[in-house]
Amino acid sequence: MINLSIFSVRDFGSNVDRMTAKRLGQWATRLYIIMLIFSVVLLAIFSMVQVRTLTNTFNRPSFELYNQLKHDHADKLSCSCSIIASTFNSFVNIKAVFHEICLSPFVSDQWRINLTAGLVPDLSTYAQNDYRRFLSAHLQFLQGLCQLSTESVNNSIKQFLSSLFITADLLSEENFHERLNLLINESRVNAPSVFARVFYLIRSVNDGNAFVSTYGTNFKYSSPRERLLPFAAPTEAVIYDDECSCGLYSNCTSQARFIKTNSFETISIKGLKIGCTPSESLLVSTLECFYNQSCIDLIEEYTNYTSNVTHLSSTTSRFTVNTSITELVHNLFIEEWATTTNYSLYFKQCSPLLCSYTFTENFNVFHTITLLLSLQGGLTIILKWICPTIIRIIDKISDCRKVITLSNSNKTLTMNCNKIEPQSYNTDDTTQTSTTSSGILCRYFRKRNLTWFIFWIIIIILILLVVIIPTVIILKKKIIISKAISTTITTPITTIKKDTITTKTTTTTTGHISTKWIQVGITVAGENGQGDQLNQLHWPGMTYLDDDNETIYVVDEGNHRIVEWKSSAKTGQVVAGGNGNGNQTDQLSRPTAMIVDINNDSFIICDSENLRVVQWFRRNDKNQQIIISNIHCYGLAMDNNGDLYVSDVEKHVVSRWKQGDKNGIIVAGGNNQSNKLNELYHPTSIFVDQDYSVYVCDMWNHRVVKWLKNAKVGIVVAGVDGIGTSVRQLDNPIAMIVDRFGNVCVADFGNHRIMRWLKSTDYIEGRIIVGGNGVGNGPDQLQWPSGLLFDRKDNLYVSDYGGHRVQKFDVDLN
């Protein structure tokens, strides 16, 4: 092995003898072997430490294949729908189950006609407080309420099922059911409210006009008919229990009774009332009589009718027997919503064009072997060309140095750089003259300052750097990733015992600050559930914090208002809207965002369903202004210059508006809708930093994108791997904020959590800082978080859309 030479004589030139070529070949072979081993080792290390991201793609997968892929790869799997919009009735079936009364003979025309057929046609012959005056009207009104409720519910269901469900990417089965449940619940909540508004209008009109009931139940004539004036009929109001006068109130009532003929004896009827009008008295009644066979028999006895109808069953209803009819009407007589969703049909409607999943591979022996074999040929050629040249140069330089040394010590000696030969000398102490190639080379290098030697050394260094630099970069990235992964993310564990809550906290670390939040939140607004009272919220959205006054402003979307909540207050105060859903100057319709314009002492509000941005002055709430119209706005932000930024979910852009501008300037998006970096898809929340960079929640692309000032494309800073539940993914991010360290905090709407993406790790992956414990209303849970902000102490406030509350998560100072 020591004498091994893989190089021939011609590799060292034609002027080199065999012995010298053999010696140089041996040294060149040794150098070749060393460099080959060194290069192979470096390439092997590079291959082993390189993290490869691979993607497997499946065209038009079947449902069975998709389920298998989902089971094997979970959150890493993504599928693109070929049909992004489908009607809900393709995969959803909704059926309302109504109260038994609406399905019983008691609300049928036949039973009512037969029951009242035995009564005297002129009902005024019965005593004024005899229930037979009210019986027919009550039954007709009850029948009408059931019919209207049924029609209203069926119309609501039909409208919902005919609307479009839009998803660009195939949802996982869990996300599919969660999103459908949210939409169905929203439809269920809206159905009674629509009916209630119409019903309230009818009752108000009847009450306000003080119509005289044809049954003589609210007003009676004060003198005999023959003595009435031609143009006037004097009347007086009927008085019911507690001296309640129908002239003042429409809801006066008394207990319903039958009065025996030719007697003053009365028999009470369970649950039923009589009053100023049959409609108002029935609403305060209950169905208790219809649950009692004796009571039904009593009614048939006093109407001279016999039937085989049986009483209602109290075991089949979620309502109690003494539930008022008013409450039943508010619930549209619905016992339950029978809902079935079919994920396989949704998959069929989506009809994925392709599904793919990505995975990382740290080391693969076959890949390493393949890489080495593929590079071996080229590496061998290069080294076989370089090594002889290097050895030859080194040998000549060595001989040259010997010549120079001997020349200085003995001016009369002549040397050959390759072999010692007789030479001519200049004995008068002048320079020597060499005619050999070595002498010429020596003089060349002395004149050229070793130019070529340096050139070849540089070539060798560059070749080695080509291998070393990528290895160092990969190693550095692995160190950063390992540090990011090693940061502790502790799942909140809450133990409740004797009213004491012990909580583990989540820790995140930036380059300058280590912050941890207590995982149990405190409700600071809307702790009384969904509603429209001042101590309630309905779908709270984005919030705004006034740190100086310790006040938060909540966008109460479902109640069409902006509510101010002082620190530790139990109720809020409406500061904008609150006058119902509408498009008047004092009304809002589904507001989604607001900011405070300190210079003008006003609120700037995105009035989404009215397609406008309005300015609401705090000191003069009558002088409101529309500052931008015909815009599908969602998010708002303002920079240090007072310029307004607005996201448009219809045009998929973010625009900047200077004061007085009639048209905004697009600063993000504007190139259609897709997941390309120069495009947006349903932008929601926005944030502008000190450098005028715009951060955008690109909701339907499931990411947050940063657009530098005047940039044409964005940079993904959160949600690098699309939709999913992993720490590198988001599901419909709806709101975000950037803290003072440049970290991006995101309300991960579909995953019910708040995530933080650190700038110090190049936004590689996020960390869950609160939530992430499933959907729910627990103190450590979130239900569709829709807004977030930090106060100056870094306490975190989260708007819990589905929980109808605002939660505060304090910084843990321990």
- For tokens 């994925």, name the residue: 352
**Least confident piece of the model among 298-302, 552-556, 618-622, 792-796:** 618-622
Give the pLDDT of residue 568: 83
Question: Poorest-confidence range of 168-172, 399-403, 614-618, 680-684?
Answer: 399-403
Cα(153)–Cα(222) distance, integer angstroms = 45
Which amino acid does the sequence have at 53?
A: T
For residue 279, pLDDT over 80 is answered with: yes
pLDDT at residue 214 above 50? Answer: yes
- How much is the average pLDDT of 474-499? 37
The set of residues, in sequence order, having a beta carbon less than 8 Å from that of 266 and lying 6+ positions away, is 129, 257, 258, 259, 260
Instruction: Give 144-198 as a DSSP string.
Output: HHHHHHHHHHHHHHHHHHHSEEE-SBPPPHHHHHHHHHHHHHHHHHHHHHHHHHH
Contact 300, 289 (CB under 8 A): no
Q: Residue 740: its pLDDT value, please?
A: 77
End-to-end, the C-alpha distance of the chain in Å comes to 68
Average pLDDT, the chain: 80
Model confidence pLDDT, tens digit, residues 421-471: 444 434 344 334 344 444 554 555 454 445 555 556 666 666 666 555 555
DSSP string, 1-68: -TT-----GGGG-TTS-HHHHHHHHHHHHHHHHHHHHHHHHHHHHHHHH--EEEEEEEES--HHHHHH
* Mean pLDDT along residues 215-222: 75
Q: Cβ of 97: how many Cβ atoms within 10 Å?
A: 14
pLDDT at 44: 77
Quote the tokens at residue 321.
Answer: 């027997």
The dihedral built from the CA positions of residue 549, 550, 551 and 552, taken in this order, carries a sign that is positive
Query: Which residues is 668 bridged to in the sheet?
Result: 654
If we measure between CA atoms, which residue out of 668, 677, 685, 667 comes closest to residue 701?
Answer: 677
pLDDT, position 384? 79
Mean pLDDT, residues 117-121 taken together: 83
Stretch 700-712: mean pLDDT, rounded? Answer: 91
Q: Give the pLDDT confidence score for residue 798 in this predicted structure.
A: 95
**Candidate from 1-10, 135-144, 305-314, 401-410 with smallest mean pLDDT:** 401-410
Task: Tell whether pTM > 0.85.
Answer: no
> Which residues have a Cβ under 8 Å from the Cβ of 587 and sit 6 or more positions away?
560, 577, 579, 580, 581
What pLDDT is stored for residue 14 in this prediction? 66
Q: What are phi and psi of 294, to 5 degrees?
A: -65, -40
Element (H, E) at 404: helix 365-409
Give the residue with greater pLDDT, 10 vs 69: 69
SS3 call for 89:
helix
pLDDT for 226: 46
Compute the CA torsion angle 7, 9, 12, 14 (nearest 10 deg): -160
Number of helical (H) and strand (E) elements in the chain, helices listed first: 12, 41
Residue 157 corresponds to which amino acid? I
Lowest model confidence (mean pLDDT) among 154-158, 214-218, 495-499 = 495-499
What is the reported pLDDT for 491? Answer: 30
Tell me the C-alpha to C-alpha distance, in Å, between residue 81 and each of 353, 354, 355, 518, 731.
6, 8, 9, 40, 16
Beta-carbon contacts of residue 435 (< 8 Å; ≥ 6 apart): none
State the pLDDT at residue 261.
Answer: 72
b/e code 787-810 from CB counts within 10 Å (16+ = b): bbbbbeeebbbbbbbbbbbbbbbb
Residue 178, CA distances (Å) to 451, 519, 731, 802 in order: 73, 23, 12, 12
Average pLDDT of span 737-745:
87
The alpha-carbon radius of gyration of the chain (Å, integer) is 43
pLDDT of residue 414: 44
Pick the range with the lowest mean pLDDT from 79-88, 556-565, 758-767: 758-767
Share of the chain above pLDDT 70, in %: 82
Instruction: Name, in order, each residue with C-beta under 8 angstroms of 46's C-beta and a sequence gap of 6 or more.
Output: 467, 470, 471, 474
Element (H or E) spanning 718, and its range?
Answer: strand 715-718
pLDDT digits (tens, 9 = 90+) for 352-401: 988 988 877 766 777 778 777 777 778 778 877 878 877 777 777 777 76
State the Cα angle at 372 between 369 and 373, rounded to 5°: 85
pLDDT(483) > 80? no
What are the residues facing 703 on neighbouring strands?
698
Q: What's the rounded mean pLDDT across residues 21-36?
A: 80
The token duo for 797 is: 């406030």
Q: What is the mean pLDDT of residues 400-411?
A: 62
At 111, phi and psi to the nearest 5? -65, -40
Average pLDDT over residues 529-538: 91
How far is it, in rounded angstroms, from Cα 362 to Cα 354? 26
Q: Which residue has the tokens 């990969």?
A: 474
Vertex 343 angle, CA 342 and 347, to 5°: 125
The pLDDT, as a whole number, for residue 715 is: 92
Lowest-pLDDT range, 271-285, 453-467, 705-719?
453-467
